[in-house]
Amino acid sequence: AQKITQTQPGMFVQEKEAVTLDCTYDTSDQSYGLFWYKQPSSGEMIFLIYQGSYDEQNATEGRYSLNFQKARKSANLVISASQLGDSAMYFCAMREGLIQGAQKLVFGQGTRLTINP
């Protein structure tokens, strides 16, 4: 069963607009972590934001915020004031459990975001 689902294969947004990238997850664990990574064409994985399952407030990092709705099991990424450099592939990922050292991630299918000038 798919644990991380990103339903938007591609998104096209005008520069300076806000954009929301969807992510839903499935887990029976009470303790887990949710991540968003950006992957430009170079291939590197750039960390954007992290939300722990026990964090009561939504995570924010500059122009990035994570809309965490635990009951709905969703962790959408919101990018405010989009820039041309935001064009890339975006992956939502989940780490299950709090076992120290077991930091493997399960990734969603990704969303390709294109910012138009």
Interface residues with other proteins (CB under 8 A) are: 33, 35, 37, 42-45, 47, 50, 52, 91, 95, 98, 100-110
CB of residue 25 to other proteins, shortest distance in Å: 14
Count Cβ atoms within 10 A of the Cβ of residue 84 and give its class: 0-12 exposed, 13-18 middle, 19 or more buried: exposed
CB of residue 47 to other proteins, shortest distance in Å: 4
43/62 with CB nearer other proteins: 43
Question: In the structure encoding, which two tokens stand for residue 53, read together?
Answer: 């399952």
Look-up: residue for tokens 């989940």?
94
| Cβ atoms of residues 15 and 115 within 8 Å | yes
DSSP 42-81: T---EEEEEEETT--SPPEETTEEEEEETTTTEEEEEE-S
28/41 with CB nearer other proteins: 41
82/91 with CB nearer other proteins: 91
CB of residue 78 to other proteins, shortest distance in Å: 19
CB of residue 106 to other proteins, shortest distance in Å: 7
